[in-house]
Amino acid sequence: MAKYRQIFERLAEEMRNGTRPADSKLPSETELMHQFEASRGTVRKALDLLQENGYVRKHHGKGVFVLKRDQIEFQFNGIVSFSEVYASMLGRSIQTHVAAFEEMEAPPWLVERMNLKAGTHVFRIERVRNFDGENVILDINYFVKDLVPGLTEEIAARSIYGYIEGELGLQISYAKRKIAAEDVTELDRMRLDLHDYEYVIVITNDTFLYEGQQFEYTESRHRLDKFQFSDVARR
């Protein structure tokens, strides 16, 4: 690990575990240089990282100060599967059931949407998330087959993202998300325990690799009362 990264991790850990309490002042850059036996540029890079990640606030001419606790904990920015977030927020586990798994030629609307070559093959996966005995979330994924070879139903039942990033080593660059309410469809009725709800919250997700190619399109359909989305926007 890069040295500035080590310093960052070390200091961040000390802030999380309370060794460096909120509002306390960090040692000066020169002092940290000696403590970590690093150059000033390296220390500064670590401090920049800390500030970018919301741990500290630098005050020109005064020093670097630790920000309050609850401002730190809340960071799940970036790209996370909503189900995971949802589970972690409630502190409980979600049962996942693979309701469909097929390889198919991308339908026209998907070719259009993902800007694919006609005839491209994709995996289509339906997964139902069961929470407290009720099916409340339906995830429909489309993955470009060439980019995610070797995807199986067993993997889908666990963590597709774990496979993609871990096994395949694909680098995800960014994702476009959209959230909106939609009328319940027949498929929703079939897969979910909808009670009397006439609407679902739909999160669509277009995920791109570093090279700019889209490799995934996903719809995550949530029963109204079981939907929640949180994030932190930073400037």
Q: Which parts of this chain interact with DNA (CB under 7 A)?
A: 2-5, 26, 28-31, 33, 37-42, 44-45, 47, 58-64
Among DNA, a second copy, none, residue 30 binds (CB under 5-8 Å by kind): DNA
Q: Which of 65, 100 has the CB closer to a second copy?
A: 65
Q: How many CB atoms lie within 10 A of CB 208?
A: 17
Backbone phi, psi, residue 225, to 5°: -75, -10
Verify binding: residue 94, a second copy, rule CB under 8 A: no
List CB contacts of 178: < 8 A, sequence separation 6 or more: 203, 204
Nearest approach, Cβ of residue 104 and a second copy (Å): 25
Three-state secondary structure along 141-208? EEEECCCCCCCCHHHHHCCHHHHHHHHCCCCEEEEEEEEEEEECCHHHHHHCCCCCCCEEEEEEEEEE
Distance of alpha carbon 56 from alpha carbon 47, whole angstroms: 8
Distance of alpha carbon 81 from alpha carbon 160, whole angstroms: 10
Which one of 110, 122, 201, 215 is in contact with a second copy (CB under 8 A)?
201
Stretch that binds a second copy, among 13-21, 99-107, 128-136, 219-227 (CB under 8 A): 219-227
Nearest approach, Cβ of residue 10 and a second copy (Å): 22
Tokens coding 143: 């993955």
Residues of span 135-164 touching a second copy by CB under 8 A: none
Verify binding: residue 229, a second copy, rule CB under 8 A: yes
Verify binding: residue 60, a second copy, rule CB under 8 A: no
**Size, binding site for a second copy by CB under 8 A:** 37
- How many whole angstroms from its chain centre is CA 16? 21
With tokens 């009725």, the residue in question is: 189
Verify binding: residue 99, a second copy, rule CB under 8 A: no
Residues that bind a second copy (CB under 8 A): 22, 54, 57, 67-68, 71, 74, 77-79, 172-181, 199, 201, 208, 210-212, 224-225, 227-235
